[in-house]
């Protein structure tokens, strides 16, 4: 089961589960474990038994009444765990119901229920618990009821959020469409989806309930007919254990509470993490060590803005590294525009982010060189790299919504980029330049004072382009700059890229799956599939005479402006997963021309002319045949 697999990746969860299991076993076998059954007093009780320190007969000593501390501790687990689990059950059932109904029905009922939850959230739990238990009387049932009925708010919020997301899924709307009743849908379709999260939450609520019980007991509101850990501490504290120096009466019950609470917290957190994995890694982690320096010089064409050689990027896998990009090589000359194309998941973005050392944590450049401005970017120190960043190469990131800081004004973000690389510039000058940049991309300069969320999607994209131009870079990498934009805005952005290139003379790498965009705005094309380059050449060469079957099929799947009547044929199947890369040609499983050899060995790139190559055995045989 995937769930258990996920759990096994959380060692803390296993530790927590073990701690909790120990406590449960102790509670079940309390009668067998305890050396002095209730009322915990030795038969020959004497004056020496008062606060007697640990001894072989009483391994944790005795309290003010001569009771055996160890036996009380063992029996105390029953009360703590009973209150914990029973209280949490009530909380989770009540909170779960409120959350389910509020999330499912939404509207007035849902809002009303959530407002009620908000009201209860501001009432100080402990104060209310104290008041109610004081009025109702401190019996175990009352304590459970009060703790249970006051702890449901967090569960309600959590379950509501989860229900809202489940509610919008297909199978729910389908069930509605066939006329299933609401209660039926809630319990048959929504509840099973919300259930795991509720259970994980319940484990956390157990720890809170145990803490509440012990606190109430310590205030003096514990059930006097049973022994609990909180009550042991209440008696210890109020009957002179501190002045008697009897640490053995204080530490064991306190640490027992810590044991159970820590165990449930660890388990609950691990369960939540396993069900709802959040990113645990981030961009500011210490980067992996740089690859060793190269022996000889790297051959680079004249006037190259970027030369990528044998670039290989790997991801950390569960057992061994996964190869995302393998031996990618291509050049971008000064002022040249290169389209990097292929379906999603073919490694285009990973290759470029790898080349510019901007990979997400967990991914790294395994080998290869990236020459830019006379330096090998792969082996440059962090501080040397920083001076090149943006000043010499910049990036228009995919999804400009999140690439701009939401709490900083757009103009500020532009000025920051300018000032970082021109520290001598005054703030006024930088602000003026920011205004000019916005003007270049067609945004009125006075909008510099806006926040990103006040811009439309197209404006944000153009602001991102303005940002990329802030320090007059030699090279701009634009990652899917037109996806998620409507056709009109797409045309504007394309026109903008073209105009800027002609004005500033910077080179451009355009990462896209939109072949039309490449045809319109690029000089050259590099086609990637399954992490490797399969073909490259000028736009004219590749579009009019594609040599690799993948390129041919990719072009057929795309509308042709010269021949709008042509039927579009999509390529069946999907690019390979990184953990299931085919041993031979990466495209062989989807290739209509594949033969035996394609499945066994990966074809090398065949040189077809100056800066023109493709990797396919069909070509080799043709070339070989031609040679003969």
Hey, which residues between 298 and 357 contact other proteins (CB under 8 A)?
Answer: 356
Q: Which long-range contacts (CB under 8 A, 24 or more apart) does 243-249 make?
A: 244/51, 244/64, 246/51, 246/53, 246/61, 246/63, 246/64, 248/53, 248/54, 248/60, 248/61, 248/69, 249/51, 249/61, 249/63, 249/64, 249/69
Q: Spell out the residues 6+ positions from residue 11 whose beta carbon is closer than 8 angstroms to its own.
A: none
Which of the ranges 248-256, 329-337, 435-443, 572-580 carries the binding residues for other proteins, by CB under 8 A?
248-256
Q: Spell out the residues 6+ positions from residue 194 whose beta carbon is closer than 8 angstroms to its own.
A: 96, 99, 100, 159, 162, 163, 166
Q: Is 406 in the site for other proteins (CB under 8 A)?
A: yes
Q: Which long-range contacts (CB under 8 A, 24 or more apart) does 590-594 make?
A: 591/549, 591/550, 592/549, 592/553, 593/549, 593/618
Relative to beta strand 375-376, strand 393-396 is unpaired
Our CA angle for 300, 304, 310, nearest 5°, is 50
Q: Point out which residues pair with 609 in neighbouring strands.
A: 612
Q: Point out which residues pair with 607 in neighbouring strands.
A: 613
Hey, which residues between 253 and 272 contact other proteins (CB under 8 A)?
Answer: 254, 257-258, 261-262, 265-266
**Interface with other proteins (CB under 8 A), residue from 21, 123, 540, 624:** 123
**Interface with other proteins (CB under 8 A), residue from 211, 341, 475, 494:** 211
Q: Is 214 in the site for other proteins (CB under 8 A)?
A: yes
Count interface residues toward other proteins (CB under 8 A): 76
We find the least distance from the C-beta atom of residue 263 to other proteins, in angstroms, to be 9
* Alpha carbon distance 512, 505 (integer Å): 21
Hey, which residues between 512 and 571 contact other proteins (CB under 8 A)?
Answer: none
Which of the ranges 33-41, 212-220, 561-569, 595-603 carries the binding residues for other proteins, by CB under 8 A?
212-220
Q: 11 or 192, CB closer to other proteins?
A: 11
Hey, which residues between 422 and 451 contact other proteins (CB under 8 A)?
Answer: 451
Which of the ranges 119-127, 194-202, 325-333, 609-617 carries the binding residues for other proteins, by CB under 8 A?
119-127
We find the least distance from the C-beta atom of residue 67 to other proteins, in angstroms, to be 18
**Interface with other proteins (CB under 8 A), residue from 105, 191, 247, 315:** 247
**Interface with other proteins (CB under 8 A), residue from 125, 327, 334, 620:** 125
**Interface with other proteins (CB under 8 A), residue from 24, 219, 290, 489:** 219
Q: List the structure tokens of 34.
A: 């305890």
Q: Is 280 in the site for other proteins (CB under 8 A)?
A: yes
Q: Is 408 in the site for other proteins (CB under 8 A)?
A: yes
Hey, which residues between 459 and 498 contact other proteins (CB under 8 A)?
Answer: 467
**Interface with other proteins (CB under 8 A), residue from 42, 54, 196, 220:** 220
Question: 13 and 7 in contact (C-beta within 8 Å)?
Answer: yes
We find the least distance from the C-beta atom of residue 215 to other proteins, in angstroms, to be 6
**Interface with other proteins (CB under 8 A), residue from 3, 29, 119, 595:** 119
* Alpha carbon distance 431, 447 (integer Å): 12
Query: Edge-to-edge strands of the sheet including 507-512?
Result: 393-396, 475-479, 507-512, 337-341, 524-529, 532-538, 612-614, 606-609
**Interface with other proteins (CB under 8 A), residue from 46, 56, 107, 124:** 124
Q: Is 9 in the site for other proteins (CB under 8 A)?
A: no
Q: 186 or 325, CB closer to other proteins?
A: 325
Q: Is 118 in the site for other proteins (CB under 8 A)?
A: yes
Query: Edge-to-edge strands of the sheet including 363-372?
Result: 322-333, 304-315, 363-372, 375-376
- At 568, is the secondary structure helix, strand, or coil? coil
Cα 439 from chain centroid (whole Å):
36
Hey, which residues between 384 and 403 contact other proteins (CB under 8 A)?
Answer: 386-391, 394-395, 397, 399, 402-403
Q: Tell me 189's DSSP state.
A: I
Question: Hey, which bits of 441-538 come out as E strands?
Answer: 475-479, 507-512, 524-529, 532-538
Q: 170 or 286, CB closer to other proteins?
A: 286
Q: Is 65 in the site for other proteins (CB under 8 A)?
A: no
Hey, which residues between 351 and 380 contact other proteins (CB under 8 A)?
Answer: 356, 358, 360
DSSP string, 250-319: HHHHHHHHHHHHHHHHHHHHHHHHHHS------TTSPPPPPPPPPSSPPP--TTEEEEEEEEEEEE--SS
**Interface with other proteins (CB under 8 A), residue from 25, 31, 45, 134:** 134
Which of the ranges 60-68, 243-251, 582-590, 608-616 carries the binding residues for other proteins, by CB under 8 A?
243-251
We find the least distance from the C-beta atom of residue 283 to other proteins, in angstroms, to be 5
Q: Is 417 in the site for other proteins (CB under 8 A)?
A: yes
Our CA angle for 424, 426, 428, nearest 5°, is 160
We find the least distance from the C-beta atom of residue 533 to other proteins, in angstroms, to be 24
**Interface with other proteins (CB under 8 A), residue from 405, 426, 456, 570:** 405
We find the least distance from the C-beta atom of residue 259 to other proteins, in angstroms, to be 8
């Amino acid at each position: 089961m995937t769930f258990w697999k996920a759990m096994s990746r959380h060692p803390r969860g296993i530790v927590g589960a073990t701690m909790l299991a120990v406590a449960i076993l102790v509670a079940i076998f309390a009668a067998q474990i305890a050396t002095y059954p209730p009322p915990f007093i030795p038969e020959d009780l004497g004056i020496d038994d008062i606060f007697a320190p640990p001894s072989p007969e009483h391994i944790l000593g005795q309290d003010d009444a001569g009771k055996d501390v160890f036996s009380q501790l063992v029996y105390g687990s029953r009360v703590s765990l009973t209150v914990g689990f029973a209280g949490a059950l009530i909380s989770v059932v009540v909170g779960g119901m409120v959350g389910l109904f509020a999330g499912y029905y939404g509207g007035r009922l849902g809002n009303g229920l959530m407002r009620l939850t908000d009201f209860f959230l501001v009432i100080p739990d402990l104060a209310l618990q104290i008041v109610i238990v004081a009025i109702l009387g401190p019996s175990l049932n009352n304590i459970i009821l009060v703790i249970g009925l006051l702890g449901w708010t967090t569960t309600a919020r959590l379950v509501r959020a989860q229900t809202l997301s489940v509610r919008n899924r297909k199978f729910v709307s389908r069930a509605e469409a066939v006329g299933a009743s609401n209660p039926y849908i809630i319990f048959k379709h929504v509840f099973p989806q919300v259930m795991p999260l509720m259970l994980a939450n319940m484990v956390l609520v157990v720890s809170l309930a145990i803490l509440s019980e012990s606190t109430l007991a310590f205030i003096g509101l514990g059930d006097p007919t049973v022994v609990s850990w909180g009550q042991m501490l209440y008696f210890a504290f109020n009957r002179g254990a501190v002045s008697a120096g009897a640490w053995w009466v204080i530490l064991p019950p306190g640490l027992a509470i810590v044991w159970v609470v820590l165990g449930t917290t660890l388990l609950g957190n691990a369960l939540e993490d396993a069900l709802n994995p959040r990113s645990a890694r981030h961009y500011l982690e210490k980067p992996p060590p740089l690859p060793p320096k190269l022996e000889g010089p790297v051959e680079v064409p004249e006037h190259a803005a970027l030369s990528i050689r044998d670039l290989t990027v790997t991801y950390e896998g569960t057992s061994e590294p996964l190869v995302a990009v393998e031996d990618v090589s291509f050049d971008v000359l000064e002022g040249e525009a290169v389209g990097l194309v292929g379906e999603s998941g073919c490694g285009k973005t990973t290759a470029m982010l790898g080349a510019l050392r901007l990979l997400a944590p967990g991914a790294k450049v395994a080998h290869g060189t990236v020459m830019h401005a006379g330096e090998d970017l792969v082996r440059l120190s962090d501080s040397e790299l920083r001076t090149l960043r943006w000043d010499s190469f910049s990036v228009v990131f995919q999804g400009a919504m999140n690439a701009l800081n939401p709490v900083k004004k757009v103009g500020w973000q532009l000025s920051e980029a300018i000032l970082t690389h021109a520290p001598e510039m005054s703030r006024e000058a930088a602000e003026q330049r920011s205004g000019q940049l916005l003007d270049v991309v067609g945004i009125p300069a006075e909008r510099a004072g806006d926040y990103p969320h006040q811009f439309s999607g197209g404006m944000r994209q153009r602001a991102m382009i303005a940002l990329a131009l802030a320090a007059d870079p030699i090279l701009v990498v634009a990652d899917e700059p037109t996806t998620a934009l409507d056709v009109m805005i797409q045309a504007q952005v394309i026109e903008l890229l073209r105009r800027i290139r002609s004005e500033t003379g910077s080179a451009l790498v355009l990462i896209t799956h939109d072949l039309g965009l490449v045809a319109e705005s690029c000089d050259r094309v590099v086609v990637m599939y399954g992490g490797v380059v399969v073909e490259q050449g000028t736009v004219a060469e590749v579009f009019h005479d594609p040599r690799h079957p993948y390129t041919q099929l990719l072009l057929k799947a795309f509308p042709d402006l010269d021949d709008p009547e042509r039927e579009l044929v999509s390529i069946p199947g999907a690019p390979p997963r990184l953990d299931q890369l085919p041993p031979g040609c990466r495209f062989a499983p989807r290739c209509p021309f594949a033969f035996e050899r394609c499945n066994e060995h990966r074809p090398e790139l065949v040189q077809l002319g100056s800066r023109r190559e493709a990797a396919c055995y069909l070509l080799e045989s043709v070339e070989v045949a031609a040679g003969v």
